[in-house]
Amino acid sequence: MTDTKDLRARMAALAGGAVLVLLGVLFLLNNFYHFLDIRRTWPLFMLIPVIPLAIQWIEKGRAAAGAVIPITILTFYCGHFLWLAHSSWAAAGTSWPNYLIGPGLGFLFLFLIERRAGLLVPAFVLLGLGTAFYSGIYGSSLPLGGFLVLAGVILVIGSRKS
């Protein structure tokens, strides 16, 4: 058991160190190429709390699986805000359902790790509402139809494993 904990601690230190090295390389390269403009890259700061949460999850395993929800939400919102910042916030008025989809993905990923059926309820409610609103915004049933198919597949696969 201690070997597993030692291995997880070494993996967490390796992951944390790799992230820091990568960030350092980005900042060093910015001196030559000037691609890090704070007006466009500020969402990356949302990933700062993700690092200790991910390290904790790696170290403690399933005991810290609850960290998956904030990791997923912050990572999803970081990508969303990076996209908005690089597109001059043109889609900010029509991309608000992403604020429902982020937590829905968090619950879904936690379900995939813990296999507790109760996690599917908030996941499906939030993801279903987000895709339904996207269907309404864009006048297309494609997002909602795609969600319903994926939700059905998850339920069918989940019922086979029980």
* pLDDT given at position 29: 82
Cα 105 to chain centroid, rounded: 7
* pLDDT given at position 1: 54
For the chain, the domains span 93-162
Q: Which residue has the tokens 């995939």?
A: 112
pLDDT band at 162 (very low <50, low <70, confident <90, very high): low
**Nearest partner of 65 among 114, 24, 106, 18, judged by Cα:** 114
Q: How many residues does the chain have?
A: 162
- What element of type H or E holds 16? helix 2-33
pLDDT > 60? residue 160: yes
What per-residue string of b and e applies to 78-90 under the rule 16 or more CB within 10 Å gives b? bebbbebbeeeee
Q: Are 75 and 50 in contact (CB under 8 A)?
A: yes
pLDDT > 90? residue 119: yes
* pLDDT given at position 76: 97
Average pLDDT, stretch 1-5?
67
pLDDT > 80? residue 48: yes
* pLDDT given at position 75: 95
Rounded to two decimals, the pTM is 0.79
Instruction: Provide CB contacts within 8 A for 46, sequence distance 6+.
Output: 74, 77, 78, 81
**Cα–Cα distance, 80 to 84 (Å, whole number):** 6
